[in-house]
Each structure stands twice: as structure tokens, then as C-alpha cells.
Structure 1
Amino acid sequence: MKLYYSPGACSLSPHIALREAGLAFEPVLASTKSHKLQDGTDYYGINPLGYVPMLELDDGTRLREGPAIVQYIADLAPNKNLAPASGTLSRYRLQEWLTFIGTEMHKTYSPMFNPNMPEEAKAIFRTKLQSRYEWLNGELEGKDYLMGEHFTVADGYLFTVTNWTKPTGVDISPYANVQAWHARIGARPAVQEAMKTEGLLK
């Protein structure tokens, strides 16, 4: 398998999932700025949408969209408990989390990386994100992970977008449960390995 990624982008989420699952894969750097691979290949020729992540299977099949990719990865390694079994209510709870993170968190961060976005608009997005983190803080009360006692691919996804608090100026200092959870995820060996591969840690 190949994972097309850009350092620190949302592709860090499936990168973490692959490391947690212990699956063999080749990370392929695909710049979201130049839209070229390191050998000069035009990434649009691989993914016409131009963004990451994209997972290419050994038979050449390509899968886009992070929440779909991480569930696929989790199902390849069911013994790792990265996602509850398909068809269970717990699996739908996981999908609920992935949808929340994708639509309420990820897509609220995205405009703040646009250099043409006015500062007044960015302030609105920051306020919305802080209200979401306030809610998350309550949800994490007494829990190690989003789903309870076990790390799932939802934790990897939320960790990835929460890493964007510093570059976007989102203040999560009031939310002790969120901060403790973020530190807990960041200390996991698979997360450390993924971040080191992407050059995010020395």
C-alpha cells in the first residue's frame, strides 16, 4: 500500500492508523502547495482533487477521504481494536465521531490556512472551534479516549486537527481534559513514529 501525505496535514490521521495497525505501507510525499511528488510527478494525475490523504492499495485501487481510509485500515487489523465491528452500535458511534471531527472541527480549521481569509473571519472560526472544544472537554471527562477505554481511529483524527491549534491561534488552555487527552495521544509510540517520519518531531 501507498499513503500519499503532506506533513502535518489531515493525512497524518491515516498515517497514525497505519502505524497503530502495524501494516506495511510506503509513505509518499505529495506537496499540497506544488501538487507534485518528489520525483516531479503531477499529483493531479494521481488524485484529480489534488489533496491528501489518498491510500493506494496493492492492486492499484485508490481510496480517498480520511474517515473512509481510517475505517478501511482499522478493518484490515481487527485485532488492534482501532474500530468497533461493522454493524454494531459502537461502530456507528465511531462514525458519529469521525463525522463530527470532519465537519465541525476539520472544516472549521481549513479557512484559517487561507492567506486571503480576513482576520475578522478567522476570529469567528476560532470562536466556533473553542465552543466545540468546550463541549469535547465535557465528553472527555473521566475517559482516556473518545470512545472510552480504547484508542480508535477517531482519536488519531482529532489529534491531527488539534495539532492545528497553535498555527491558527485557537486557545485550548481552558480545557484540561482536552489537553490531557492530546498529550496522551501524542505520547503513543505509533503517533511519535508517524510524526517523526513526517518531520514534525526531531
Structure 2
Amino acid sequence: MKLYYSPGACSLSPHIALHEAGLPFEAVLASTKSHTLQDGTDYYTINPKGYVPLLEFDDGTRLAEGPAIVQWIADQVPQKKLAPAAGTMERYRLQEWLTFIGTEIHKQLSPLFNAAIPAEVKPVFRQKVLDRLAYVDRQLAGREYLMGNFTVADAYLFTVTRWTTPLKLDISGLANLNAFMARMNARPAVQQALKAEATSG
């Protein structure tokens, strides 16, 4: 199994999930700038969307989109409880969080990395992200993780919240979120994924 990833991108989320699950995989660096692999292969020939993450199975089947990938990973090791059982209300709560993180945080942060977006527009996105993260902070009150116990949604939240640092978004006042980030940073699987990505390329 291969995980196509790019350091600092949202592919960190399934990278963490794979380590949490203990599944064997090969991490394949796919540049989001040049859209090529290290051997020169055109990444568009592997993923026509051109972005990461992408999971490729041993039979050549591929699965794209982070929220779908992390749920597949979780379902391979149900005993680890990385996701609630399919069909339960708790599973739909997980999907609720994955959707919220993807649409209300991840996709609101993306324009802030885009040099083509007019500077006068960016404060709108910055404020929207800060509002959404304040909501998350309130939901984390009295909890270690989004759903109480660690799930793959936490890996996704951790991944996108890390982007506030290079974007200079001040989240210092969000005590619950900062405590969550510290807990995540301390997890061995998170440390493994971050170390692998820091030494890649």
C-alpha cells in the first residue's frame, strides 16, 4: 500500500492515521508544486486531480480524499477504535466533524496560501477561520479529543490547525485548542509522521 503525500499538506492526516493503525505502507513524496514524483513521474498520471493525499492499494486500486481515506484506515483496525462502528450515530458524528473540518476550516484556510487571491479579501477568510476555531475550542471544553477519545477526526483537525502558524493566525487565546495540539504533538504516531515528512525530499 502506498500513501502519496506532500510535507505540510493535508496528507499529514492519513499519514498519522496509518501510524496510529499500525498498517504497513510506503510513503511516496508527490510535490504539490511540480506535480511530479521523485523519479520524475507525472503525478497527474496517478491522480488526475493532481493533489494529495492518495492511497494506492496493492492491487492498483486508488482512493482519494482525506476524509474517505482515514475512515478506510480506521475500518481496517476496528479494535483500535480510530472511528466508531459504521451505522452508529457516533459514526455520523465523526463524519460531521470530518465534513466541518474539511469545509469550514481546511477550505477557508486554502485561499490564505494562494498568492493570486487579492490581499484585501484575505481578512474575510482569516476571520472566518478564527471564528470556526473558536467554535472548536468551545467543543473541546472538558474533552481531550473532539469525540472524547482519539479518532481520525483529531488527526485532521491537528493537521489544518498547524497551518495557523505559517499563516500567522493568532490562536493563543484558545486554551482548549492549544491543549489539544499539545496532546496531539505528544502522540507517538504524530511524532512518527512529522519526523518522516521533515526528513523527506
SS of equivalent to 2:28: strand
Deviation per residue, 1:60-88 (Å, 9 max, x gap) = 10000000000000001111110000000
Verify the 8 A CA contact 1:126 1:169 in the aligned structure 2: no
Q: What CA distance in whole angstroms lies between the structure 2 residues aligned with 1:48 and 1:97?
A: 27
SS of equivalent to 1:55: strand
Equivalent residue, structure 2, for 1:184: 183
Give the RMSD, CA atoms, in angstroms.
Answer: 1.1
Shift of 1:186: 1.2
- 1:16-165 aligned within 5 A: 16-148=16-148, 150-165=149-164
Verify the 8 A CA contact 1:44 1:50 in the aligned structure 2: yes
What is the TM-score with the length of structure 1 in the denominator? 0.97
SS of equivalent to 1:168: coil
Stretches of structure 2 that go unaligned for 5 or more consecutive residues are none
| Percent of paired sites with the same residue | 69
What is the TM-score with the length of structure 2 in the denominator? 0.98
Stretches of structure 1 that go unaligned for 5 or more consecutive residues are none
Equivalent residue, structure 1, for 2:194: 195
Residue type at the aligned position of 1:3: L
Verify the 8 A CA contact 1:7 1:200 in the aligned structure 2: no
Deviation per residue, 1:80-134 (Å, 9 max, x gap) = 1100000000000000000000000000001111112222211111101111111
Q: What CA distance in whole angstroms lies between the structure 2 residues aligned with 1:89 and 1:27?
A: 33
**Comparing 49-58 and 115-124, the one that deviates more:** 115-124
SS of equivalent to 2:172: coil
SS of equivalent to 1:167: coil
Q: What CA distance in whole angstroms lies between the structure 2 residues aligned with 1:8 and 1:20?
A: 18
Residue type at the aligned position of 2:91: R
Shift of 1:200: 7.2
Deviant stretches of 4+, over 3 Å:
none
SS of equivalent to 2:121: helix
Aligned residues: 200
